[in-house]
Amino acid sequence: SKSSEKRQAVDTAVDGVFIRSLKVNCKVTSRFAHYVVTSQVVNTANEAREVAFDLEIPKTAFISDFAVTADGNAFIGDIKDKVTAWKQYRKAAISGENAGLVRASGRTMEQFTIHLTVNPQSKVTFQLTYEEVLKRNHMQYEIVIKVKPKQLVHHFEIDVDIFEPQGISKLDAQASFLPKELAAQTIKKSFSGKKGHVLFRPTVSQQQSCPTCSTSLLNGHFKVTYDVSRDKICDLLVANNHFAHFFAPQNLTNMNKNVVFVIDISGSMRGQKVKQTKEALLKILGDMQPGDYFDLVLFGTRVQSWKGSLVQASEANLQAAQDFVRGFSLDEATNLNGGLLRGIEILNQVQESLPELSNHASILIMLTDGDPTEGVTDRSQILKNVRNAIRGRFPLYNLGFGHNVDFNFLEVMSMENNGRAQRIYEDHDATQQLQGFYSQVAKPLLVDVDLQYPQDAVLALTQNHHKQYYEGSEIVVAGRIADNKQSSFKADVQAHGEGQEFSITCLVDEEEMKKLLRERGHMLENHVERLWAYLTIQELLAKRMKVDREERANLSSQALQMSLDYGFVTPLTSMSIRGMADQDGLKPTIDKPSEDSPPLEMLGPRRTFVLSALQPSPTHSSSNTQRLPDRVTGVDTD
Amino acid sequence: PHFIIHVPQKEDTLCFNINEEPGVILSLVQDPNTGFSVNGQLIGNKARSPGQHDGTYFGRLGIANPATDFQLEVTPQNITLNPGFGGPVFSWRDQAVLRQDGVVVTINKKRNLVVSVDDGGTFEVVLHRVWKGSSVHQDFLGFYVLDSHRMSARTHGLLGQFFHPIGFEVSDIHPGSDPTKPDATMVVRNRRLTVTRGLQKDYSKDPWHGAEVSCWFIHNNGAGLIDGAYTDYIVPDIF
C-alpha cells in the first residue's frame, strides 16, 4: 500500500550502520528449548564503526555457543574451565578488570552485550546459542524472548517451533509492546497434534513507532505460553540411552494443608516492606480453603505466635488472623532461629495432638529480610537445628526479601529441607511476588512422590523423590540408561494423595518412540540427552552449596566435566572468543554472572573489541582434537 | 562408498564409487614396507527396497601396525584396541586418548577418532549416526587420510595408491546427460576415460553436514583410474 511504501522509505541506517537481519529461532523438543539468535549488521560508512550485539537471555539458560563472522573469517567461542580461563587472564583478573560479555539484568534475565569495531563497507554476523529446560508453572510453560533492537531491522523474525510428544493442548503468544491490532496482524500462531508454531515477522513499516519515525516500537517481552495434553498419565521418553520422565497427572483432588507462616518483623522491615508483607498475608489468608489449618509466627527480638497451634481456616479464624496481621508491629532484632523452631514445633505437634491432620500436606513458609542477629546467630548451628527439628517431614520454603539477605544461606536451608528459596525483590510489586510464590504451593496434590526406575538399568539419575507435588507444576526426572536396557525400561511412581495412595507404572512404548524419532529425528535424541545434562548440572551446582569441602570439590569436578562435555557456560566454565581483543589486549569472555553480582550501573563501561585480520585457527572444547588439513583423501557414504 | 582423491599437484579432486556386496572387505591402505594396513568391511541398509540400487557403507574398519603389535577395530558401536588379545573396548560416548608404542588414538566423543602413527600417517574415522528409529538405514563409518607423506612409496590399496603423485589431463569438457554435470575426457595412466564433473561430500571436518567437494567422477568402480580391477582389492580378513 501507499502508506507502507512511505514507511519503507525510512532510512534504517544509523550512522551508516544498518541491521540486515535479526532472527531468533527457538526449537523446543519435550520442554528442552534451544535458542539461536543471529544478527547481521552492515557498516555502509567509509570508516570503521562500533556496532553492538545486545540481547537478554533467561537466567535459567546456559549459553552453549557464540560466533562472530566478519569478512569471511569466523571467530568462535572456546569453552574452558573457569580456573584455566582465569589463569590465562590472570593479569586482568587481578586488577579487577574483565572483558565479560554477560551481566545480571533484572530479576529473571541476563544481559549479553558485545561491542565490535567493524571495518568500513563490511558486514558482521553474530550468532548466540543458549538452551534451557522449560519449567511448568501455573499450568503452562513460558518462553520469554526479550526484544529490543536499537534500530529498525530489515528482516526481523522470531520463529518458535515446538514439538511435544504428548500433544499440545494450548498455545498462545503475546507481545506486550505491540498495539493489539498489529499483534494480531503480525503474530502467527498455530498448533496441531504434537507440533506448535509461532512466527513473528514484522516488516520495517510494522516496526516503526510512527509512520515517519525511524525508531522501533519493538521493545519488550515476546512471550509464548503453551501446555501439553495430559490424557495419558505417562510421559516417558527414551532416546539414545537417556530418558526423560515428565510427571504432572491431572484430575487429582487438592489435599488439605497445614501451613505455618513464619514472618520476620525486625526493624529493617519497616516502611514499604512490612506494608507489602501485610497486604500479601491478608490476601493469602483470604484464599485459604476451609479444610486447611494454619498459624502465624512472628520473629523480631522475641518470638510470638498467633495461636501456638494449628487452627482450621474457618471464616471466624481467618477474620481473627487477618486482624492479627493488620495489628502487629515491628520489633528490633532478627531471631530467625527462634521463629523457625517455633513454626516447626507447631507443625510437629500434629503428630501428637492433632493426628486427624496428619494426612494433610504440611508446609512451612518463612519470610526474612536480613541476617540473624538475635538468639542463635551461627548459621551452621541454625541449619543443624532446623534440619534436626524438621527431619524431612515437610518442606520449608524461604523467601528472601530485598538485597540484604544472605540468600545463599536461605537456599541451603530450604534445600536441606525439601523446599526451595525465592527472592522477593524490593519493588512496588512485592505483594504480587509474595502472592505469586504462595499460589505455586497453595494446592498440594500429592506428597512423598517417589519415582523409581529399574536399578540395574539406570546409570545417572536426577532427583527422583519429591516431598510434594503442586497443581500446575511438573516433576521432571532424567537419567542415563545402561546399554541394552533401553527396551525394558520402565518407571514406577508412588505417592500419597488426598485420601488415597497413588501408584502407576509407565512402560516405554517402543512403537511410539520409533514414531517420535521418525518425526523429530536427531533433535529428539539430542535433546533428551541435553535435558538430562542440563538438569544434572543444575542439581550438582545446587548440591555443592550444602556439603563440606571435600564433597564440594567432587561435585564441582563432576559439574565441570559435564559442562565441558556438553559445552555449557555454567558458573564453572567460561567461553572466550579468540581473534579479537580490546584496547588493553583482553579477549572477550562469556561467564555466568553469579546471583549476587553487582547491579549493572555499578559495573564499568563496556569494552569495545577489534577483530584481528586473520581468522584464528579452530580449537575445540576437547584439547585432544587435532586440526585437520584443508584437503584430504578419504572414503565415505555415497 | 564414494572415494575422494585429492590431487594437490593438479589442485583438483577425483572421485569414484566401489559397488560391492555387504560383507565384502576392501583394502584401503597397505604399506608393504611396514605392514601397516587399513581394511574396511561393507554393510548395506537394513531393508532392501525392491528394484532400487542399494547403498553400501563401511560398517567395520581394521587398522593394523604389526611393527608395534597394534590393531584397532572400529565399528559404529565400539572401538576395540587389539581385539585379538582381548584388549579394551571403548564406546563412541567416550572421550579418550590411547597411546601404544608410537600410535596415538584420539576418540572424540560421538564424532570421530584420529589415529596417528609415528613414522606413518594420520587417519580419521568419522562416525555417522542415523536416527535410531530407522528401519532402513544403520550407523556407518567414513575414513579419511589426513597425512600420508611418511608412508612408503610402495603403499597400495584403494586409497594408498594415491598417496603419491598421479598425473592426469582433462580435455573436451562437454554437456553430459545431466545438464548440471558436464562430461569430459580424462587421460590417466595412458588410458582415455569419460569422466563427469560432480559433487561429493567430505565429512572429515563436519561429520554432521559435511562439505561439498567438486570432483571428476570416474565411472565403473574407478575402472582405468585405479591400479588393476577393483576386485583385486577384496581381502579375506579385516586384519
- Spatial CA neighbour of A98 closest among A590, A568, A600: A590
Beta-bridged to residue A574, according to DSSP, are: A80
Q: Please give the full DSSP string across A343-360, using - where no structure is assigned.
A: HHHHHHHHHHH-GGGTTS
Burial (CB count within 10 angstroms: exposed 0-12, middle 13-18, buried 19+), residue B194? middle
CB < 8 Å from A in window 129-188 of B: 129, 131-135, 140, 142-148, 158-159, 162-163
Low-confidence ranges of chain A (pLDDT < 70): 1-9, 84-99, 595-606, 612-632, 637-638
Higher pLDDT, B231 or B46: B231
CB < 8 Å from A in window 40-59 of B: 40, 55-58
Rg (alpha carbons) of chain A, rounded to whole number: 27
Contact A636 B108 (CB under 8 A): no
pLDDT for position A614: 57
All residues at 6 or more sequence positions from A388 whose CB lies less than 8 Å from its CB, including other chains: none
Rounded to whole angstroms, the Cα distance separating A214 from A207 reads 9
Is the CB of A511 inside 8 Å of chain B's CB atoms? Answer: no
Reported ipTM exceeds the 0.90 cut? no
Contact A46, A120 (CB under 8 A): yes
Give the confidence band of B189 by pLDDT, cuts at 50, 70, 90. confident
Q: What is the pLDDT of residues B196-213, one digit of tens each?
A: 988 888 888 877 777 888
pLDDT for position A200: 96
Is the CB of B74 inside 8 Å of chain A's CB atoms? Answer: no
- Spatial CA neighbour of A506 closest among A455, A470, A452: A452
Give the confidence band of B24 by pLDDT, cuts at 50, 70, 90. very high
**Å from B199 to nearest chain A CA?**
11
| Chain B residue with the nearest C-alpha to that of A629 | B146
The yes-or-no verdict on residue B51 having pLDDT over 80 is: no
All residues at 6 or more sequence positions from A214 whose CB lies less than 8 Å from its CB, including other chains: A10, A11, A12, A14, A151, A152, A208
Is the CB of A514 inside 8 Å of chain B's CB atoms? Answer: yes
Q: Nearest by CB to B132, which of A239, A633, A635?
A: A239
Residue B162 grid cell: 594415491
All residues at 6 or more sequence positions from B57 whose CB lies less than 8 Å from its CB, including other chains: A637, A638, B1, B42, B43, B44, B128, B138, B140, B141
Residues of A in contact with B135 (CB under 8 A): 514
Residues of B in contact with A626 (CB under 8 A): 106, 114, 116, 122, 146
Residues of B in contact with A522 (CB under 8 A): 129, 131
The yes-or-no verdict on residue B147 having pLDDT over 80 is: yes
Residue B182 grid cell: 558436464
Q: Nearest by CB to B132, which of A483, A525, A625?
A: A525
Mean model confidence pLDDT for chain B: 87
